[in-house]
Amino acid sequence: MGTLSPPPPPQVRDLPAPCLAPRPLLTPHVGAPSPGERRQAGGAGAGARGRAGPGPAALWGSSLQRRLPQGIIIGVRKGGTRALLEMLALHPQVAAARAEVHFFNREENYRRGLGWYRQQMPLSHPGQLTVEKTPGYFSSPRAPERVRAMDPAVRLLLIVRDPVERLVSDYTQILHNRRARCKPYPPLERLLLRGDRGLDTRYKAIQRSLYALQLARWLAAFPSAHIHVVDGGGLIREPLPELRRVEQFLGLAPSLGPNNFYFNQTKGFYCLRAGARQRCLDESKGRPHPPIAEQLLEQLCTYFSAHNEHFFSLVGRTFNWC
Ligand SMILES: Nc1ncnc2c1ncn2[C@@H]1O[C@H](COP(=O)(O)OS(=O)(=O)O)[C@@H](OP(=O)(O)O)[C@H]1O
């Protein structure tokens, strides 16, 4: 893990504002490239990059194409997948798909075939690595075999986070989405604790925190050397060491450096810098969590501990989780 002293964790501040106006969805890059797209080949983060890239003549050349991904961030949901993608997209050899594609985990998309999938990818140059992220792949039973059928040599990135924090983050997202539609959503305590019957482990956000069960399916389809595990807590505390390991795993020349990241006190997280341009992830990332009863957190820790041990044995390393 990193060596710099970590910034203080973001504080629990307040609950989401009730009944927010619905926000427009991001649309994937589809169809023929626009001139702006050609200028920005590289997808996510490209506009903020501000680095010297290939000149306009090369960008308009025939080498600029949409390619199937050679790297996929498969999960975990709420693990820091967006931060990982956007940070990686600062690398000049990376072309990152801006939106989640949900190709391998949604039947209606998978039926559209690889040609459709390729069309969702950003334009890239031959020397660039195309990367997409869809956290829903990790828990999808059919995704591992489908990804392998596309390319058994594809590199997989799995970013994990303390399962309890992940669960609370997942719950917070659902809470926000429900409130945005003016729909009520019960407190986590009410969802998870039913009388004296203990934890209701059928809750989906609990299931999604059972990393070992899901990873076992990926390890049945891919050798472990093809799956790189990123410490989501490490990426929050100190992104660079995690990203250097990712560069190495993906076979990228080392390019990301301390100047690419700065800690933003207001956001409470590291933000991205490319040349003179700086930006943080949007407000849906790193938002305050509602307070959760200490007793429930302890129960969750106890419940996850055996699963966590199993996960550690699968990945050959341990994490400092609750
Ligand atoms: N640099 C930076 N800025 C903001 N947020 C950061 C960053 N690094 C990691 N994170 C953590 O990413 C969490 C969201 O994870 P994902 O992007 O995987 O969510 S999602 O599954 O795509 O919805 C998000 O979870 P919450 O804190 O619960 O909002 C963050 O903790």
DSSP assignment of 220-259: HHS-GGGEEEEEHHHHHH-HHHHHHHHHHHHTPPS---GG
Using CB distances shorter than 6 Å, the residues near ligand 1 are 77-83, 135, 169, 172, 235-236, 269-270, 281, 285-287
pLDDT at 17 over 90: no
pLDDT at 235 over 60: yes
Could you give all domains of the chain from N- to C-terminal order, each with its CATH number? 35-315 (3.40.50.300)
pLDDT at 34 over 90: no
179 pLDDT tier (thresholds 50, 70, 90): very high
Question: What number is the average pLDDT over the span 88-110?
Answer: 98
pLDDT at 62: 66
Distance CA 314, CA 47 (A): 38
Q: Record the pTM.
A: 0.85
Question: What number is the average pLDDT over the span 205-228?
Answer: 98
User: Across the chain, what does the average pLDDT equal?
Assistant: 86
Choosing from 78, 159, 273, 292 the residue with most ligand 1 atoms within 8 A of its CB, the one to mutate for a pocket test is 78
Q: Kindly provide the b/e burial profile for residues 181-200, where b requires at least 16 CB atoms within 10 angstroms of the residue's own CB.
A: eeeeeeebeeebbeeeeeee
CA of 10 to the centre of ligand 1 (A): 12
Which residues are tagged catalytic? 78
pLDDT at 52 over 50: no
Annotated binding site for 3'-phosphoadenylyl sulfate: 78-82, 161, 169, 270, 285-289
State ipTM: 0.99
